[in-house]
Amino acid sequence: MTQGTPSQGQSVSGAELRLDQVVKRYPGQKVPAVQSLSLTIPAGEIVAFVGPSGCGKTTSLKMINRLIEPTSGTILIDGNDIRQESATSLRRKIGYVIQGGSLFPHMTVATNVGVVPKMLGWDAARIAERTDELLDLVGLDPDRYRDRYPRELSGGQQQRVGVARGLAADPPVILMDEPFGAVDPITRQRLQDELISIQRELGKTIVCVTHDIDEAIKLGDRILILQEGARIAQYDTPENILAAPANDFVADFVGAGSTLKQLSLTRVRSLDLNQPTTARVGEEMGPVLARAEAAGDDEVVILDDRDRPVAWPWLRQMRNKTKVIGEPRENLVTLDEAATLNDALDTMLTAAHSKAIVTGDRDRYLGVLDFETVTEHMRSAEREAAENVENAEKAESAESIEDPAPTGEAGHG
């Protein structure tokens, strides 16, 4: 029936990005917005750019697709200098997604998504096919949404269309500037999960600007922490940055609660999932009830023909029916396998349900996660962190005995 684990074989279709001593000085600026940024982003990775407002994140991003010309320095995509590329060729290679999706209000969803392919001269049938495929990928039913106008969509849905548009021409590189800034926390979490799953599936190189360190920890294979002037404070994996901040700026930026932030490093997929009774829409009810009772389950997860969970009824809600139906949907609480433990807690608390269904690529069912599993994991992570702090304190006091801190020059009597 359900295949246990999702395929991990990721094909990398992304391109390597290299910035070499890139400088941007806006007219009249004394200190350049970007002082000298050198950086390699490996093909197929998500890199999150974080840093305080005005530190040069957007400027750096826009130089990669030449919305802003660098004052000096070089930017290479897979070894090719972007200055040698035509505008069309750059459009083909780099998708761009910004806050709110920034859709054209007078165009339908489908027209918005197809803007770049149209510019590239694709024929109408191919554009239509691609548009439907992408709407499906970002979790919008094409039949329902393709002919709507942006004003007929929620903020989160507009953002999804924005992501679809960024992916439309299948570019190896996608740049995103605060793509999930304007949506509520739960939708934001869904969109992040969607992005991670798209990334898993397509292996793009993604640069995502955010000023939310938790988002960076969740999304980034690596995080680039920038200081004023786009100077690099640290460029490393989330694990390494949390474990060993390079300096006080990074430590402050990452925040005091970094043991709690470890929760953002743990994905739902790494915990043990329960495998309760499942059933298909259309199945005879008798055997399903028998299976559930034999297993001691009081709920059954109902799947559709593509292995997606569609309902999560209590046994008592099923007894008076002869066949399994895709109802009721009210308590269908789902989490993507890429969701973090923070997300899992949020979702369960918001839904007031102590369990959530975990899904993988294209919403395929994987199992059920319960509250106890999450809290147990947190408790053991906390114990571990407390032990680490204790050990570090011991090490520190041993050090200060050997090497007393300098007393300074002033202060005699």
Ligand X SMILES: Nc1ncnc2c1ncn2[C@@H]1O[C@H](COP(=O)(O)OP(=O)(O)OP(=O)(O)O)[C@@H](O)[C@H]1O
Q: Confirm or reject binding of residue 58 to ligand X (CB under 6 A).
A: yes
Between 82 and 226, whose beta carbon lies closer to Mg ion? 226
Q: Confirm or reject binding of residue 25 to ligand X (CB under 6 A).
A: no
Give the binding range for ligand X (CB under 6 A) out of 15-23, 49-57, 109-117, 239-247.
49-57
Cβ-based neighbour number of residue 23 at 10 Å: 17
What length does the chain have?
A: 413
**What is the distance of C-alpha 280 from the center of its chain?**
30
Report what 56 binds from ligand X, Mg ion, none; CB cut-off 5-8 Å by kind: ligand X
Between 32 and 276, whose beta carbon lies closer to ligand X? 32
Specify whether the CB–CB gap between 174 and 166 falls below 8 A.
yes
Give the binding range for ligand X (CB under 6 A) out of 57-65, 111-119, 123-131, 335-343.
57-65
Q: At closest approach, how far in Å is the CB of 182 from ligand X?
A: 13
Between 28 and 296, whose beta carbon lies closer to ligand X? 28
> What part of residues 280-299 is at the interface with Mg ion (CB under 5 A)?
none
Cβ-based neighbour number of residue 283 at 10 Å: 15
Report what 53 binds from ligand X, Mg ion, none; CB cut-off 5-8 Å by kind: ligand X
- Of 26, 247, 282, 349, the one binding ligand X (CB under 6 A) is 26
Q: How many CA atoms within 13 Å lie on the side-chain side of 187? A: 15
Between 22 and 318, whose beta carbon lies closer to ligand X? 22
Q: Confirm or reject binding of residue 59 to ligand X (CB under 6 A).
A: yes
Q: At closest approach, how far in Å is the CB of 368 from Mg ion?
A: 40
CA distances from 224 to 38, 47, 211, 362 (A): 11, 7, 11, 30
Binding-site residue total for ligand X (CB under 6 A)? 11
Q: At closest approach, how far in Å is the CB of 255 from Mg ion?
A: 20
- Of 15, 22, 33, 138, the one binding ligand X (CB under 6 A) is 33
CB proximity list for 152: less than 8 A, separation 6 or greater: none
Secondary structure (DSSP) of 171-218: -SEEEEESTTTTS-HHHHHHHHHHHHHHHHHH--EEEEE-S-HHHHHH
- Of 66, 148, 211, 362, the one binding ligand X (CB under 6 A) is 211
- Ranked by CB distance to Mg ion, the top (closest) residue is 58
Between 66 and 323, whose beta carbon lies closer to Mg ion? 66
Q: Confirm or reject binding of residue 54 to ligand X (CB under 6 A).
A: yes
CA distances from 162 to 22, 106, 194, 362 (A): 28, 15, 13, 19
Rounded to 10 degrees, the C-alpha dihedral 74/80/83/87 comes to -140
Specify whether the CB–CB gap between 339 and 374 falls below 8 A.
no
> What part of residues 41-80 is at the interface with Mg ion (CB under 5 A)?
58
Between 63 and 344, whose beta carbon lies closer to ligand X? 63
Give dist(CA 143, CA 361) in Å, integer: 21
Q: Confirm or reject binding of residue 57 to ligand X (CB under 6 A).
A: yes
Q: What are the backbone dihedrals phi and psi of residue 217, each rounded to the nearest 5 degrees, phi first?
A: -65, -40
Specify whether the CB–CB gap between 266 and 340 falls below 8 A.
yes
Between 42 and 181, whose beta carbon lies closer to Mg ion? 181
Q: What spatial distance separates the first Cα and last Cα of the chain, rounded to whole Å?
A: 81
Between 41 and 332, whose beta carbon lies closer to ligand X? 41
Q: Confirm or reject binding of residue 55 to ligand X (CB under 6 A).
A: yes
Return residues touching Mg ion (CB under 5 A): 58
Return residues touching ligand X (CB under 6 A): 26, 33, 51, 53-59, 211
